[in-house]
């Protein structure tokens, strides 16, 4: 912005240009003053000005292959007392990096020309029911015959994998087949309010994929570029898959081996793997509990923790710890026991249980009949 103002200030002036960029005129003039008088720079800025040419020199003298660690070590050998993170920040700002063994592999290739939906999730992956939010992403696995790609579609309510596919190429049809599996399994309808969230990969922004979402009545949602937190739930599932399957059972010989291992892992993850965010139960059990809850009626009184407090008159009252079971305690003048009647909210009068307070266990237990 400062360079743009310098190039056009003679024709338009500084103050008219600053609100357009936007930049404050004081910021521009402060930059000019510091550029003319380096003593006005901060200690950090002066230190960076000294380190930049040294980093460039070490990088050029060593065949342009040194990365952050080796540049940092070389400067340390030469007597520069500087932190490694400072070297990393300056090298990134200068646009230089060391050589990488092998070919750097990218799975997310954004299509800047394609229209992009808005982010309807805003990093909020907790939903009150299944089929309200699906998240999608894919990762890659190196085999002896080349890279293999694995795509997942996850229901955010219980982290259940509702669609997955393994392919030898990362084309749009590959992630579309994983979506088809999820649609076939869950049968979403228009008006349900289901949102599909993904990153800005060209596969998820393709015409075929967006048209299929519209046909199924699913609203698209896309995160920002280069920010894994915008699709953190899908990234977490990818990380679990690669940590629990790939290094432990590798090296991988073929596409078929990865596909079969993925099949086994998805079955275990959905039906037997306990997850802490959903109450240390498997995803399938969490969804089954959700669907069974409206049809289940309480059949017996459950133990409920209570605490007693004494008021100014000396009588005892109770404070029921359970939000669903309010209790009222009255001291029995004959034997000194505290009697309580706990009522289940929103239940008919028949579901009423007399309870006796046990001071040793601090529990409300069903009275013996």
Tens-digit pLDDT profile for residues 114-160: 567 788 888 889 999 999 999 999 999 999 988 999 999 999 999 99
281 touches 296 (CB < 8 A)? no
Contact 203, 170 (CB under 8 A): yes
Distance CA 204, CA 33 (A): 48
pLDDT at 248: 83
* pLDDT tens, position by position, 246-283: 888 878 999 999 999 999 999 999 999 888 899 889 99
Task: Say yes or no to pLDDT of 48 above 90.
Answer: yes
Give the pLDDT confidence of 156-195 residue by residue, as tens digits: 999 999 999 999 988 888 899 999 999 999 999 888 889 9
E strand map for the chain: 133-143, 146-155, 160-167, 195-198, 219-222, 304-310, 316-320, 327-331, 338-343, 352-358, 363-366
Please name which of 68, 100, 106 lies closest in space to residue 87, comparing C-alpha atoms.
Answer: 68
Cis before 22? omega within 30: yes
Res. 336 pLDDT band, cuts 50 70 90:
very low
d(CA 209, CA 352): 55
Nearest to 117 by CA among 190, 196, 171: 196
Q: What is the mean pLDDT of residues 291-314?
A: 49
Task: Please give the pLDDT value at position 112.
Answer: 61
Q: Are 86 and 51 in contact (CB under 8 A)?
A: yes
Q: Checking DSSP bridges between strand 316-320 and strand 327-331, what pairing results, if any? A: unpaired
Asked, as a colleague might, if the bond just before 251 is cis with ω within 30 of 0, I would say: yes
- Contacts of residue 365, defined as CB under 8 A and 6 or more positions apart, other chains included, come to 301, 303, 355, 356, 358
pTM of the model: 0.55
pLDDT digits (tens, 9 = 90+) for 200-255: 888 888 889 989 999 999 999 988 776 778 889 999 999 999 989 988 887 899 99
The pLDDT, as a whole number, for residue 143 is 92
Q: What is the DSSP string of 271-329?
A: HT--BGGGTSB-HHHHHHHHHHGGG----S---EEEEEEE-TTS-EEEEESSSS--EEE
Query: Angle, nearest 10°, between helix axes 232-244 and 255-271?
Result: 110
Tell me the pLDDT tens digit for each residue of 70-121: 999 999 999 999 999 999 999 999 999 888 765 555 555 655 665 677 888 8
- Greater confidence (211 vs 314) lies with 211
CA angle in degrees (0–180, nearest 5) for 244-248-250: 120
* H or E segment to which residue 201 belongs: none
Percent of the chain with pLDDT over 70: 75
DSSP-assigned letter for residue 110: B
Q: How high is the pLDDT of residue 150? A: 94
The ranges assigned to domains in the chain are: 2-94, 133-289, 304-366
Residue 299 has pLDDT above 80, yes or no: no
Give me the CATH topology for the region 133-289: Nucleotidyltransferase; domain 5 (3.30.420)
Rounded-to-integer distance, Cα 45 and Cα 51, Å: 10
Q: Exposure of 173 by Cβ count < 10 A (0-12 exposed, 13-18 middle, 19+ buried)?
A: middle
Cβ-proximal residues to 121 (8 Å cutoff; 6+ apart), any chain: 133, 135, 195, 197, 221, 223, 230
Extract the tokens encoding 138.
């894919």
CA distance 237 to 127: 17
Instruction: Tell which residue, 344, 300, 349, has the closest CA to residue 326.
Output: 344
Token output for 281? 């139960």
């Amino acid at each position: 912005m400062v360079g743009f103002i310098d190039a056009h200030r003679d024709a338009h002036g500084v103050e008219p240009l600053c609100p357009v960029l936007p930049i404050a005129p004081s910021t521009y003039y402060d930059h000019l003053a510091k550029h003319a008088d380096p003593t006005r720079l901060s200690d950090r800025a002066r230190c960076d000005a000294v380190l930049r040419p040294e980093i460039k020199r070490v990088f050029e003298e060593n065949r342009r292959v040194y990365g952050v660690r080796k540049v940092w070590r070389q400067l340390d050998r030469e007597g520069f007392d500087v932190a490694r993170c400072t070297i990393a920040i300056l090298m990134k700002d200068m646009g230089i990096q060391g050589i990488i063994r092998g070919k750097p592999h990218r799975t997310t290739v954004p299509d800047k020309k394609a229209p992009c939906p808005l982010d309807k999730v805003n990093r909020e992956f907790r939903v009150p029911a299944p089929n309200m939010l699906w998240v999608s992403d894919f990762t890659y696995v190196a085999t002896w015959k080349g890279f293999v790609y694995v795509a997942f579609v996850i229901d955010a309510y219980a982290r259940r994998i509702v669609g997955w596919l393994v392919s030898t190429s990362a084309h749009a049809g590959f992630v579309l087949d994983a979506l088809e599996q999820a649609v076939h399994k869950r049968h979403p309808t228009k008006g349900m309010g289901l949102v599909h969230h993904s990153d800005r990969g060209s596969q998820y922004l393709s015409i075929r994929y967006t048209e299929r979402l519209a046909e199924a009545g699913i609203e698209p949602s896309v995160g920002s570029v280069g920010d894994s937190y915008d699709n953190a739930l899908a990234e977490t599932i990818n990380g679990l898959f690669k940590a629990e399957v790939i290094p432990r059972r590798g090296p991988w010989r073929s596409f078929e081996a990865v596909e079969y291992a993925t099949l086994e892992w998805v079955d275990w993850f959905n039906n037997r793997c306990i997850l802490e965010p959903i109450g240390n139960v498997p995803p399938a059990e969490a969804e089954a509990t959700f669907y069974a809850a409206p049809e289940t009626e309480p059949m017996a009184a459950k133990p409920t923790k209570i605490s007693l407090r004494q008021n100014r008159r000396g009588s005892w009252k109770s404070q029921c710890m359970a939000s669903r079971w309010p209790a009222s305690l009255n001291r029995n003048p004959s034997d000194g026991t505290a009697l309580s009647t706990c009522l289940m909210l929103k239940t008919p009068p028949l579901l009423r249980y007399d309870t006796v307070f046990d001071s040793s266990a601090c529990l409300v237990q069903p009275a013996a009949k």
